[in-house]
Chains A and B, each alone.
Chain A
């Protein structure tokens, strides 16, 4: 691809004290690309994802979003950048004291400066897209986990992000609810969203990912097309991991 990458990670490092979590991660995600990150727990994949909007402060390296280095700039620049990088969490983290609609409009109004009407219109569009427009007035506690996660996706999408980060979006869900969330993600991919996904949904990765990255011990061990990684992994560690998870 000739266009500049939408998201670029350059020699990213992260350590907590003496404990090195990430050593020298390099990754480019092109516009519209879905990059899937797999790896054993403790491999640093979630930490890497969280460094992409500086929820986790990198110890070194750069993260470049749409040509802008997020490691430089003011606090205000950082907040503006975060509008452009949507994040979906394992635990949904909807605001329990607000209706679904207000969950989706809050940052639009208070961080983007949209009017209440604009924010509501956009929120309803996004709720429609995740199939939950009829739940706009419900409270989060009244929704199933799958519905909550779809609202969380709508909340991020409403801010017109350039990139979406998914941190194990289906790991906290009952198996029968996973499908609805994956369907929304697949639809996003079809509409051209740039996505970086940390997940254990190998079937989904095989079906929709453009590229799969295997991380272990804070480094990228192997990357390639899904067929290569799942079909014929080269690295021994990748083979061992995949044989454990796809029994």
Chain B
């Protein structure tokens, strides 16, 4: 037991590397927040565009969604970070991480929102259009709110899965939680910084999981079920 605590929760090591892990947490929060905003917005915009059923746009959107859902983000990160300088484009680690995770989230979010739109019955559109709201008005006031509500539970899961992938920044030198912890681990020779990292991820993500649960419960109540 003593040994276990010493390995994973050494107080001296904790005190020493806490600031590093905390600053890694800030980096993860910034990049994660930017990814969520950009990825969800782009995904929603693409799903809305798809409701117009313009053939050429649909082909583009479907290809985008399928490719970026199929590719492992790590592959893309390495490709952009180590490949692009070869053609004269040099992006910083955080930018590469942001771009790749945003595109990945956008691809998944588009499919999730589109599934939401698809499950709205045709009558809802007809009701909106027959009351003079037009396609655009019906999209914004009738279909979108319903699609978003349907999308939220799977979207939250996907958002959590992808924001956790900020840890992939550690392979291209982004100083987020995991790279701060692995650096500390190799300096200190203790696993404690990695425990700190695990705790940091819990502190970051558990409240989001709880918030999602609360939201889901409120939604069920508001629909009068």
Interface residues of A (CB under 8 A from B): 53, 55, 75, 79-80, 82-83, 85-87, 89, 91, 93-97, 106-107, 110-112, 138-139, 141-142, 152, 155-156, 159
Contacts and interface: CB of A to CB of B under 8 A. Distances in A.
Contacts of B145: 97
A83 B132 contact: yes
A168 B77 CA distance: 57
A86 B130 CA distance: 7
Given A93-B123, A93-B124, A96-B146, A111 B224 contact: no
A94 B222 CA distance: 15
Interface residues of B, number: 22
A141 B123 contact: no
A112 B133 CA distance: 9
Contact of B131 (A75, A96, A107, A138): A107
B45 interface: no
A141 B225 contact: yes
28 contacts: A55-B126, A55-B129, A79-B132, A82-B129, A83-B131, A87-B126, A89-B123, A89-B127, A91-B121, A93-B121, A94-B127, A95-B127, A97-B145, A97-B223, A106-B131, A106-B133, A106-B142, A107-B128, A107-B133, A111-B132, A111-B134, A111-B137, A138-B224, A139-B222, A141-B223, A156-B130, A159-B131, A159-B132
B127 A82 contact: no
A159 B130 CA distance: 11
Contacts of A83: 131-132
Nearest to B140: A110
A-B pairs with lowest CB-CB distance, top 8: A107-B131, A111-B132, A93-B123, A93-B127, A83-B132, A87-B130, A139-B224, A82-B132
